[in-house]
Structure 1
Amino acid sequence: MYIVLLIGIGGFIGAILRYAIAGWVQNSFLNFPLGTLSVNIIGSFFLGLIMYLSEYQGLFGEETRIFLTIGLLGAFTTLSTFSYQSFRLFESYNLMLLIINVMATVLFSMLAVYLGKTVALNFATDVWRGCR
């Protein structure tokens, strides 16, 4: 039950962060879902960072990792919103924006995971060693 509570608290925080950050970014862009794209990229970076710091550096314990990845980042990233907004672009026959949205989300989110891994395995290693 404790793990479920951790996931729920993380989800609560992640949902609020998604609302705030996506809304703030989207405020300037009316026709393109840049807010959703942004939170997916940010969330992918932090998911890569946290998972690789956990796996290779032992920085996060299982409970912290679950709180951050399943709870917080699970609610922060927005695949269902991305899918809906992409479908709306399809419905409006705005195929160029649809293609840009799908390709940018997939490519930049994967790049963000890679960057998170790179930070975890290179830069964070030096910082972590200095703290010991």
Structure 2
Amino acid sequence: MADDGLPRVVGVVALGGVIGSLARYGLAEAFPHSVGEFPWATFGTNVLGCFAIGVLLARITPRSHPLLRPFLGTGILGGFTTFSTFAVDTEQLLHVHLLVAFAYYFGTVVAALLAAFIGEWTGHRR
């Protein structure tokens, strides 16, 4: 049996994904980098997105609208954060500047995890 709410969930995830992806694109255009340079826009996007995900997950309750989490979390923040660009940036840096590649890779992982933790902590504070 099909879930009657599935088309609504898919719709809000798609709409949120468009919004998040456009925001990420805007940051990448505002703060471009050349191959071999530290990709600050991608780094900042992923760290900010992880912070927002932490806040969101702490603030969403069972009483929240059922489409809020798919729209904001999977849609907007899923479209905003970017593992694929992170992976491509890391791979390109490996061929140009090994130390920057390692700093970017491990710095992103640590900063994003820390941001998610701080976001969750912030979200639980009232």
TM > 0.5: yes
Asked whether the equivalents of residues 53 and 60 of structure 1 are also in contact (C-alpha less than 8 Å), the reply is: no
1:95 matches 2:95 = no
The 3-state SS of whatever aligns with 2:44 is: helix
1:16 aligned residue: 22
Structure 1 residue 59: Cα displacement:
7.0
Structure 1 residue 22: Cα displacement:
2.9
Q: 1:61 aligns with which of 62, 65, 77?
A: 65
Structure 1 stretches lacking a partner, 5+ long? 126-132
1:72 matches 2:103 = no
Normalized per residue, which structure has more helix?
Answer: 1
1:106 aligned residue: 109
Structure 1 residue 121: Cα displacement:
0.8
Structure 2 stretches lacking a partner, 5+ long? 1-6
- After superposition, the C-alpha distances for 1:82-110 in whole angstroms (9 at most, x for unaligned) are 00010011122x11001110111101101
Partner amino acid for 1:78?
A: T
Asked whether the equivalents of residues 22 and 38 of structure 1 are also in contact (C-alpha less than 8 Å), the reply is: no
Structure 1 residue 54: Cα displacement:
1.2
Number of aligned residue pairs: give it: 118
The 3-state SS of whatever aligns with 1:62 is: coil
Q: 1:84 aligns with which of 84, 88, 96?
A: 88
TM-score using structure 1 length: 0.83
2:41 aligned residue: 35
